Structure 1
Amino acid sequence: MLFDVDNPPIEPPDGCRHRLLWRLCRALWQDHRPDRASHYAIVGCVHDDQLVPCRLARLAVKGLRTASGEQAVASPLWLDVARSRIARGDINLAAALAEARWHRRRAGLTG
C-alpha cells in the first residue's frame, strides 16, 4: 500500500493490516511532523541545508509502513512509546486489546 509519507492520512487507508498501529504512528507523526520543532535543519554541503526529521518522526513513518503491510519492525523503542501513550491516555487500552483479539481471530489464532 502506498501513502504520502509527508502527509499520511489520519484514518487508516483501505487495506491497512494493523489499524491500531496506524493510528498510534499517525499520532506520533502528527506530534513530530516537519513543521514542528522536532525537525531540524542540517547545514552543510552533504545535506544541502535540508530539513531532516527527528528520530521519532522517522520511527512513526516506519510504523506506518509496518501497519500498511511492509516488513514488520520489532523495536524496544516502539514498546516504550506505546506504553507511555497508553499511560497518558492517548490510547484506549480496552480498544487496543479488542483490536488485538480481532487480529488474532482473523489470523486463526485462539485466545
Structure 2
Amino acid sequence: MTDSNLVYSTDSGRIKQSDNKQAPRSVSKDGVVRISRETKGRKGKGVSIVSGLDLDAKALKSLCTELKKKCGCGGAVKDGTIEVQTDDREKLQSLLQAKNYTVKLAGG
C-alpha cells in the first residue's frame, strides 16, 4: 500500500481529509482587549480571561507564556482566549498596555 491515509466509505465514497482548520480567534469589534474574572467550573478558583486579541495561535501561545512567567502562575490558550490562573487583573492590564494594547477590565 502506498497511501496509508486512504479511507473509503460505503455511504459516500472516498472521504477527504480536511485542509488547514484554522484555530478560533477572539476578535473584539472595537479593538479593545478585555480581561474578565471567571470562577465557573473551577471549584471556586478564579482565573483571568484575556479576550479580544486578534493574534494567530502561535502568537497567542507565546504571549500566554510571557504573561504566565511575569505573573508566576499557570494558564492556557483555549478557543482563541488566554486563561491565566491569577486574580491580579491589574498586573495583566499593565503588562498588556506595555505592549501597546488598549485594555479594559470587564466584569466585577
TM exceeding 0.5: no
Structure holding more strand per residue: 2
TM-score (norm 2): 0.29
TM-score (norm 1): 0.28
Higher relative contact order (CA 8 A, sep 6+): 2
Larger radius of gyration: 2
